Amino acid sequence: MIIFGASTRVTLLAIVNFVCGNCHQPAAQRVYLKVLRFSLFFIPLFPLSKTRFVDCVYCGASTAITKDQADRYVEFVENAKLEAELDREFGPENPAPTSAN
């Protein structure tokens, strides 16, 4: 007997902040990748489909997004992390003006 089926795996890619399309609140949006894999004898073998979606932490609504949108969000978060790291290392690029006393 051959046992086959599909398994789903959801991975958190990034967390970004923007105004939610559902509740219209500026809130954190979790960006997820959901992969449906064909499995044989409960061993996931190859992906059948890949979908990406954002999930609003304020209202819980989830919205499907394209691969390009997901990639842009991930890139944005990685750039922000890199910038924060550079700021820690070398100080902020545009330091806040100090009061002239």
Residues that bind Zn ion (CB under 5 A): 20, 22-23, 56, 58-59
Reading the block at residue 61, the tokens are 């609504």
C-beta of 81: minimal distance to Zn ion in Å?
A: 24
User: Toward Zn ion, which CB reaches closer, 8 or 17?
Assistant: 17
- What is the spatial distance between Cα 29 and Cα 47, in angstroms, rounded to a whole number? 25
User: Toward Zn ion, which CB reaches closer, 4 or 18?
Assistant: 18
For residue 78, which phi and psi values (nearest 5 degrees)? Answer: -65, -40
User: Toward Zn ion, which CB reaches closer, 19 or 40?
Assistant: 19
**Residue 56 · residue 29 · CB < 8 Å:** yes
**Residue 37 · residue 63 · CB < 8 Å:** no
User: Toward Zn ion, which CB reaches closer, 56 or 70?
Assistant: 56
Reading the block at residue 87, the tokens are 């700021």
C-beta of 88: minimal distance to Zn ion in Å?
A: 32
